[in-house]
A and B are shown apart, each in its own frame.
Chain A
Amino acid sequence: MSTNLLSAIKKVGVIDDYEDGRDTLAYMVEDASLEPVFQNDSVTDLESYLESINEKFDAVVTDHHLRKVKSYFPIDGAEFAAHCYHRRIPSLLVTRYEQPEILEIRKFREKLPVVLTPDEYNVDSLIEGLEKCMNEFAGNISVGRKAWRTLVRIDDIKDNKNVYLVIPGWNSQQAIALNMNNLPDHLQKVVKPDMRLFAKVNIGNENANELFIKDWEI
């Protein structure tokens, strides 16, 4: 273990609905000289599970899709990782990053500092990721993760499902896709192409996949 920051982390929960998936997530945890704790049983009562999560793990590594094999988890990994982050448990999401996942994950991105693809997931990135979370808990938030109030234009809406936004303060030439259900309920009802709104966005981040949008003003 490389830093003092991580001295509090010993047990790392590994969450994946596939047994093989849990094993492989655990390999890196072991390689980083940490103790993997396997979540083998299905979780049905999320509330009570989250209540006691501090006693189970010091950190969490999870896959995004958690509902393919029986009903392993009631929510997807991104949402679960965000819950953990909220409870100040460092959490990493390991998933293949394709378009549908990007849209699903964006909703939780504010509380999801680290998302890795399987080929990015190694001992170094695992340690770095945990450190990044700990740093954020300590109030050291990097420029790319800070949200600023900025103008957001609704560019297009497709099938009432996907919303495309242009954030001129970030890049006026690129549209960012969002799931309609990422918008607050009252906004979903009124949103229209060419509408201009204010929201907070981490515009210091160059990677479109890492953007999150919150505190919409209407």
Chain B
Amino acid sequence: MRMGFDARGFLLPAGLPGCGSTARTAGRPAALEAGTASGVGVVEVVDRPAFLRLEKDWNALVESTSDAPFYRHEYIRSWMDSFVPGARIKVFTGRDHGGKLVAALPLVAERGFLYGLPVRWLVSPTSTHTARFDLIAADRRSAARAFVRTLADDHTWDVIRITDVPAGGNAWDLYHAAARAGFPAGAWESHHSPFIPLPATYAALEARLSSRFKANLRRRRRRLEERGPVTVERVTGGAALEAGLEECFALERSGWKGRRGTAAALSSKTLGFYTGLAHRASRGDYFSLFFLKVAGRAIAAQYGLTRGGVYALMMTCYDETFREYSPGHLLMEDVLRDCIAGGLNEFDFLGCDMGWKQDWSPIVRAHHWFFIFRDNAMGRMLRKAKFDWIPAAKGGLARWRRSGAGVQAAAVRIFDRSNRRRPDMRAASAVAP
């Protein structure tokens, strides 16, 4: 790869197709000048071949920082290949003086509307299936400053939307740096994902569960065992992977997700994402497909990714004809035993805080969506609309509904009271036609 140096001495891939140096300085807002001391040179990658070439460096950076599967190159690539195959990508990469990749922020450019106004979006490569997203950075502060500086000079966007950033994630620095630099910005609280910090033994974990829940699990397992031998199978790759995935997707489709039309098997994009990711993760040796089987028949499955001492539950499903045995919970029990035996630190449920997850853990991880608007009249107005006017209108509407209901309830109470005082009237109305 031919490399060049920018004005500040940063090593940049010169003339590399798909890469553009964005180390511009002219016209930069004064508030961003401090960022020049950040020590991170930004290179923008705008085409897929260039993005693909980053894989090795990208994953080395992820492994040296958070080492979560969601930020890995193959994870993001699987999502892009399945959901936005033809989209224009804008991947901001940060390199240190030696040319080493020290930060990355993958975004996708798209056009759309916000409150009826046409806007040019830069969005994180995420959807309900990706679970989590973050800025990848060895030094979050300097990376955030450098990327915000670059984004300020880039006039191809109106709104940046970064979704599902965990509390304490690196992207918070990007959000704060953008806000400090004068960009209208807002954060919107999205879902809370439960997780279990895993102790050294399963007995210690069990001690934290409610007695009733544990008793239910024991009773249901005993009753399930009456229907045949109960076994747990784990598929991590190889020849069994394809068949295992098909079995898992068929099981998911057989349940409520199939009826609602949200099962992976019902969408070629979603199916492509989970299948592609499974193959790539399996090659990276961090994929697991667990099955709970009764007399050889799969009645529950879990699709999980294990990296950095954390098991992340991407998908779970069960055969609803076995509902009375809570097969999902029984499989959870077995997977948790496996995680603890493997010395893992955490079981991450991902997704929303649902009742069945609450049975296992009271601890949740908050996630947020960030919106960063271009610092112009439209950006300021859109920010006001999204974070002030619309919430205020919604709040007012909710209060009006509550007060409406209150007025209605008060009227009913007054009517009842007056009827109690005049029993003859109530009797009269009761017999009236």
- State whether these chains interact: no
